[in-house]
Amino acid sequence: METVGGVLRRFIGAAGLLLATAAAPAVADETCMSPFMPKITGQEDYVYVWTLGVEGMGDGSDKLVTVDVRPGSATYGKVIASAPVGSRNEAHHGGFTDDRRYFWTSGLDTSRIFIFDIHTDPARPKLERTIEDFVQASGGVVGPHGAYALPGRMLMSGLSNAKDGGGRTALVEYTNDGRFLASHWMPTAEDPRGAEIEKVADGYGYDQRVLPRRNALLTSSFTGKSNYMRNFGEMLKDPEAMTRFGQTVVLWDFHERKPRKVFHVPGAPLEIRWAWGPTHDYAFTTTALTSKIWLIHLDADGEWKAKAVADVGNPSDIPLPVDISLSADDRTLFVDTFMDGKVRVFDVSDPHAPKQIHEETIGRQVNMVSQSWDGQRVYFTTSLLANWDKKGADNDQFIKGYDWDGRKLHHRFTIDFNAEKLGRPHIMRLGAASLYAN
C-alpha cells in the first residue's frame, strides 16, 4: 500500500504539473479531466464512448466503443473497435486513472465497475477486470457514478444506497489496482460530519471535482436508484418521487475528505467544472430541474459562496440541462439540454454574468458534450438513462463531431448508434496513442 508520504509527494507533483499546464500553450485534451492526469499534446486520435446495451440490438451488451477522429484517416468518423462487457448494467460514467493507462466505467443498476486496458492498444481497449463487490465493500453504497483520478487512486461517487434505494450515498475511494480503501458518506442534517449547513443537507451525490491549490473538493447531487431506474414519464407524474432530487453542493476539505460547507442549490445540480486559470477560484454547475447556471466562488472575504448567475433557455419549459463543458481559457461554457436536444454556448469571461452567444439543435435529444483542450473540436452523444431516453422517432442515439470557430459549430461527422446496432452512447473520453509510445 502506498504510504501517506508517497501520496503527498504525488499530490504536490501533480499540483505543480497543473500550474505548469495552466501557463503552457493550449493542447488538445478534454477540458473536464482531473488535474492529476497527463494532458494529450496535439490532436486526439480516438473518442472512447461508454455505451448502454439494448436488448435485441446487436450483442445486447454494454460496451466501450472506439471512434477514429484522426484527421485524414481512412476511417475518420467511424467506429473501429468495440469491447463488450457481456451484460447490461445501465452504463453511465467513467474516467481514466491518473497515469491514463486504464479507463474505469460503471453501471448504475448492477453497481459493477469495469476496468479497461487503454495503453496496450489504444485503438482497441480490452476489458481487464470487473469489480463485483462494490456495494458490499463500500458499506452499502449503490450506483457507482463518476470515476475521478487522484494520485494513485480513483474516487467514485455513488448515487444511492442499499437500504432504501434513495439518494443518500457516499464517495468511495479505491487504489488504481482496484482495492477498496474507504467510503466517505455525504453530510446530512442528522449527521453533518462537521459541515456548516446553509439550509438543507440531503446526503445526495453525483459529480466530484478537485481544485488542488485551494484544497477544495466539490460534490453535487442527483437522485437515488428508486428514481433513476424508473420510467421517466411515470416518475414525472409522481409528486412524491419528484421530491427525491438533490438540492445541495458540498464543499469538502480535499486532504482530509471532510465536508466543510453544504450549499443550497435546488433543482438537482449535476456536472461540476472548476475554472482552469491559476487565479480563478470558482466552478460552475447547472441544475437539471430549474434550468440555471450556478457559480460556486471564493469571495473577497475568503468565504466560499454559491449563487445562480443565469438561466438556461426558458426554465418554465424544463429544457433539462445535463452535461456542461468549460473551455480551457475559462471564457466559454457549453450547456447541453436533453429535452429540446440543444446546446447553448455562454460567454463566461465574467463568471458572475454569463451571456449566451450561440444556440443550436444537435438532435431530438442530447446529453453529453466533450470539448478539446484547444477549443477547436466538440463531440456530443445522446443517451441520458435507458428508462429516461425518448421513444420512437425521437430516440436519437448518436455521436456527432463538430469544429468550433468561437462563434459557430461546423459539423464533421455523425455515427448513428441505432443503425450500427451498438446501443445508447453515453459518456466520452478522448485518447491518443502518443501517450503510450514510450
Residue 411 has pLDDT above 70, yes or no: yes
- Whether the Cβ atoms of residue 20 and residue 276 lie closer than 8 Å to each other: no
pLDDT on residue 30: 83
- Per-residue confidence at 438, pLDDT binned at 50, 70, 90? low
The average pLDDT across 64-89 equals: 98
- CATH class held by domain 4-436: mainly beta
- Per-residue confidence at 123, pLDDT binned at 50, 70, 90? very high
Residue 15 has pLDDT above 80, yes or no: no
The average pLDDT across 416-431 equals: 97
The average pLDDT across 246-267 equals: 98
The average pLDDT across 391-416 equals: 98
Strands 355-361 vs 216-219: parallel, antiparallel or unpaired: unpaired
Residue 113 has pLDDT above 60, yes or no: yes
Residue 304 has pLDDT above 50, yes or no: yes
The average pLDDT across 413-436 equals: 95
Cα 156–Cα 161–Cα 164 angle in degrees, nearest 5: 165
Query: pTM of this prediction?
Result: 0.93
How does pLDDT run across 330-388, given as a tens digit for each residue? 999 999 999 999 999 999 999 999 999 999 999 999 999 999 989 999 999 999 999 99
- Answer positive or negative: Cα dihedral of 430, 431, 432, 436: positive
Distance of CA 399 to the CA centre of its chain: 16
Return d(Cα 138, Cα 44) in angstroms, integer. Answer: 35
Residue 253 has pLDDT above 90, yes or no: yes
Residue 39 has pLDDT above 80, yes or no: no
Residue 196 has pLDDT above 70, yes or no: yes
Cα–Cα nearest to 21, from 253, 320, 278: 278
